[in-house]
Structure 1
Amino acid sequence: MTINLNRRHFLSASAFAAGFASLPASLRAAQTGPLAWGPVQQTMQGFIDSKYVPGAVAAIGRGTEAPIFLSTGALAFDNPAPVAEDSLFRAYSMTKPITGMAAMMLIEDGKLKLDQNIADFLPGFANPRVLTDPEKSLDARAASGPITIRNLLTHTAGLGYTIVTKGPLLDAYVKLGITPASASRRPLPGQPNVPTAPSLAEFADRLATLPLVADPGTVWSYSVSLDLLGRIIELASGMSFDAFLQQRIFAPLGMTSTWFQVPQSEMKRLTTNYFGAPFGTFPIDPGTDSVFFDKPAFPFGGAGLVTSPRDYDRFLAMLMGEGAIGDRRIMKVETARLAMSNLAPPGARMESFVKGQGFGAGGRVTIAPRDNGEGLGTFGWGGAASTIGWVDRTRGIRASGWSQIMTMGNQPFTESFGKAVYQSLSV
């Protein structure tokens, strides 16, 4: 079901809510239509009315039932075409759970092992080294142990990321093109204008020459680990990484609008991405002149996909179905459950992550009660352009929220969206 939001709708929604509150709880719980998501609708419309973003879409489903799509606004501030569930959004790090599930499928196939040394596939990582003084030099000592597949899945490998790493290691990452993401065809202020490593194989080889920020398995540190995992998926499967995703995940799930390179023919569906700064908001990647129409240096398993809310909801529905959507199963129940469990190594320090959260196959896992209403075992992740998606099997809900704005700190849209979803459940 789809509903496009406008002011008239909100007046009727408010009237509905007043009467809805007087219904018995059993009847209230039975309401699953668009008006049951009033707080989500109001939250999204607020961001449009304030001109924070030009458009927003939500996809929400109970269990594995068909989703409800809510949409409001336009593809861009200068393009009045309405945004909808088939509009295209830059998923960025919401790519990571997809890569994580791909690796779990290969574990199920017996081609990978969760605690396997990645040097079995990438010999350059046979003797990892760890920085001794990260702020001053690249001097390093021998690591206390090997990097494993588990470490890559959970950001506990000790690898860096240009969005968080500092000092000489950051300079080395930039110099070697360890920059697996695309933002714009135009140079951006404060961003290095250095080519990314030209292939996934070269990316892995260059990364292997650099020291780690911590011993493998000891600290959660956001990283390029899911990008590196893409190379291991290639070597383990005998297929290119993007072909593996297409054959084993996208095609079986009916995800027909998910790409690393958007076809020019789909230009009319692509949103514009913005940057929100204290002095104002400006476009960095117009939907009509996007870097995502260009072939990337390689398929970025950590931040490379463009998708639609409809497509990504099918991925989330598969997770909610513990490996299946309808009669299409792409992984065993036990594999899906393992993937969405806390896979972080015992004893790994998570201080730099959110309290009460563990990490599964490319996404966070709720492992302690939270005051936002999330159920234990909730699994998901967000993206740099203010997108978010998760499955909450305890509460029986899956949801994703989509806008397109990068920020310098917190993401007001995704934070407000998550709160609104659970507020709707408590009405």
Structure 2
Amino acid sequence: MQVSAMLGAGTALPLGMGRAFAADADVAAKWPAVTAMLDKYVAERKVAGMSAAIGWGTQEPGFIARGKEALGDPDATGPDSLFRIYSMTKPITGMAAMILIDEGKLGLDQPLSDLLPKFAKMQVQVTPDGSITELRPAKTPITIRHLLTHTAGLAYSIIQKGPIKAAYEAAGLIPGQVTKLPLPGLDRGKPVNSLKLFADRLAEMPLVYEPGTQWSYSVALDLMGRVIEIASGQPFDAFLQDRIFGPAGMTSTWFTVPKSEVHRLTGNYSPQMGMLIPIDPAPSSVYLDKPAFPFGGAGLVSSPRDYDRFLEMLAGYGKIGGKRVMSELAVRVGTSNLLPEGAKTAGTFANGAGFGAGGRVGLGGDAGTYGWGGAAGTVAFVNLKYGLRASLYTQYMPSEAYPVHTEFPQAVQTDLAKMRGQG
């Protein structure tokens, strides 16, 4: 969930290089900097395994994989290994919202209170992360745009400090899970048991910032799950399955890993004093049980092959395998800079860039990159202008233990620059 500035604003990618990639059987040789990154992390036992998927346009992806699905596991990590993608769930939720906006069931600048009346009269902390009793009325209503771009003023217990963090955790506003083990720092309390209750309790909390003024990482995409339920008339997880996963051919993306697929689930670790401490072993993973509710901000497990299909759909402007999943306009708008005018991003994960529907974008709208990363060392992005899609998968927490969110895009860019020089 915590992600550093992983995508360079308006990342420059060489035009017309996609044709050569599909014909090259040796993917690792084609992407030496990416391969070296994977080799180094696994050889130094910083992670148990690491996989990357890279593709051009709507062509088949290439995969690079090193290491095992878990320490002591005989199975090598690969395209179909399952990873906890955490906040890489957010772009999927964002695009689900864009489908409804495109169909006229939601409005980008529609007040949230039209769908959830309890959000009509919000209070804002006088001092962000300060007292939760010294409040003032919000001047601006929260809109759908605000939710998609983390500018609604909502909090996040993994970001906030002080009374507001404690209040969120006490109210069960914990849209994520890490482990069943009683490990210090990872047990943040028990989440509420439904999206409806999550939304109702969230409406009772003060905002940290005035809506539309400040980019602040938040539970907004989790709340969007409830908005999607109301606008679509079906459960959030069912909507994702019917409108994105099914049509896009994503057969290995779930909120709950089926028992039959546990052999593909990787282990999650905490790097401590040069060792990898298991925090969510696959055989007893928290992801084998149904979550308290479908976490639209951090709840999915997916494979490199499956998530690449989501990126391929975006690279195809809503189409994959000849099948349209969402309209071209919905993709173009969702991957463009949707930040409200004047919203401040300085010093945040979005620093120096824009933000679209659940993902960071380059300052060139659809001419730049769109994507996001996850709390356990995953990162994915697509450049729609040039059709490049790239993603990295490994499992460790916290995400800031290693700089993979910046190293992977940099490695991709290094290899692209070399290809351009040889071209």
TM-score by length of 2: 0.91
Separation in 2 of the partners of 1:203 and 1:341?
29
Q: Which of 242, 250, 254 does residue 247 from structure 1 map onto? A: 242
Percent identity of equivalent pairs? 52
The one-letter code of the counterpart of 1:381 is W
Residue 389 of structure 2: which of 390, 394, 398 is its match?
Answer: 398
The residue aligned with 2:40 is 46
Mapped pair 1:425 → 2:410:
no
State the secondary structure of the residue aligned to 1:400: strand
Q: How many residues align?
A: 398
> Does the 8 A contact of 1:277 with 1:407 survive in 2?
no
Task: Confirm whether residue 262 of structure 1 aligns to residue 253 of structure 2.
Answer: no
1:171-186 alignment to 2 at 5 Å? 171-186=166-181
Judged with a 3 Å threshold, the aligned counterparts in structure 2 of structure 1 residues 215 and 38 are, in CA distance, closer, same or farther, namely: same
The C-alpha deviation readout for 1:333-362, integer Å capped at 9, x for no partner, is 111100000000010011123433110000
Q: Distance in 2 between matches of 1:325 and 1:182?
A: 31
Find 2:402's aligned residue among 411, 414, 417: 411
User: How far apart in 2 are the matches of 1:220 and 1:285?
Assistant: 31
The alpha carbon displacement at 1:376 in A equals: 4.2
SS in 1 for 2:105: coil
1:103 corresponds to = 97
Deviation at 1:421, TM superposition (A): 1.1
Which letter does structure 2 place at the counterpart of 1:387? T
8 Å Cα contact 2:91-2:371 kept in structure 1: yes
Provide the secondary structure at the position in 2 that maps to 1:288.
helix
Change (3 A) 1:31 1:66: closer
Structure 2: any 5+ residue segments left out of the alignment? 1-15, 419-423
Equivalent residue for 1:36, pick from 30, 35, 45: 30
- Equivalence for 2:219: 224
Q: Does structure 2 retain, via aligned residues, the 8 Å contact 1:220–1:350?
A: yes
Indicate if the aligned counterparts of 1:44 and 1:417 stay in contact, CA closer than 8 A. Answer: no
Structure 2 contact 353–362 (Cα < 8 Å) conserved: yes
Task: Assess, with a 3 A threshold, how the Cα gap between structure 1 residues 136 and 349 changes in structure 2: closer, same or farther.
Answer: closer
Q: Which amino acid aligns with 2:351?
A: K
* Aligned equivalent of 1:363: 359
Separation in 2, partners of 1:103, 1:129: 26
Distance in 1 between residues matched to 2:407 and 2:17, nearest whole Å: 27
Q: Is the contact made by 1:93 and 1:303 (CA closer than 8 Å) also made in structure 2?
A: yes
Residues of 1 paired with 2:340 and 2:304: CA distance? Answer: 33
Residue 237, structure 1, aligned to residue 232, structure 2: yes
Q: 1:287 Cα deviation (Å)?
A: 1.1
Match of 2:109 among 109, 115, 124: 115
Alpha-carbon contact 1:174-1:192 (below 8 Å) kept = no
- Which residue pairs with 1:169 in the alignment? 164
The CA deviation string for residues 289-328 of structure 1, in whole angstroms up to 9 with x for no partner, is: 1000011000000000000111000000001011111211
The SS at the match of 1:82 is: coil
Match of 1:353 among 339, 349, 362: 349
Please list, as runs of the form range in 1=range in 2, the aligned pairs for 1:252-401 lying within 5 A after superposition.
Answer: 252-278=247-273, 280-351=275-346, 352-367=348-363, 376-401=367-392
Cα pair distance change 1:171/1:342, threshold 3 Å: same
What is the RMSD of the two structures over their aligned residues, measured on CA atoms? Answer: 1.9
Task: Give yes or no for contact 1:403–1:413 (8 Å, CA) kept in 2.
Answer: no
What displacement does 1:368 show? 6.0
Matched, 1:82 2:76: yes
159, 182, 189: which is aligned to 2:184?
A: 189
Over 3 Å counting, the alpha-carbon distance change for 1:217 and 1:323 in structure 2 is same
Instruction: Determine the C-alpha separation between the residues in 2 that align with 1:235 and 1:135.
Output: 31
Q: What does residue 7 of structure 1 align with?
A: none
Q: Which runs of 5+ in 1 are unaligned?
A: 1-25, 370-374
Deviation digits for residues 60-96 of structure 1, max 9, x if unmatched? Answer: 0011111011111101112121111011000100000
- Single out whichever of 30-39 and 120-129 deviates more from structure 2: 30-39
* Cα distance between partner residues in 2 of 1:116 and 1:379: 24
1:343-396 Cα offsets, whole Å, 9 max, x none, are 000100111234331100000001069xxxxx9420000000000000012343
1:22 is aligned to none
Q: CA separation of 1:214/1:27 partners in 2, compared to 1, >3 Å: closer, same or farther?
A: closer
Runs of 4+ residues over 6 Å off in structure 1: 26-29
Quick check: 2:21–2:56 contact (8 Å CA) kept in 1?
no
* Maintained 8 Å contact 1:180/1:196: yes
Between the aligned partners of 2:214 and 2:375, the Cα distance in structure 1 is 22
Q: Distance in 2 between matches of 1:288 and 1:56?
A: 20
What secondary structure does 1:71 align onto?
Answer: strand
Are the counterparts in 2 of residues 226 and 302 from structure 1 also a CA contact under 8 Å? yes
Q: Deviation at 1:27? A: 10
TM value normalised by structure 1: 0.90
Q: Return the index of the structure with the highest Cα Rg.
A: 1
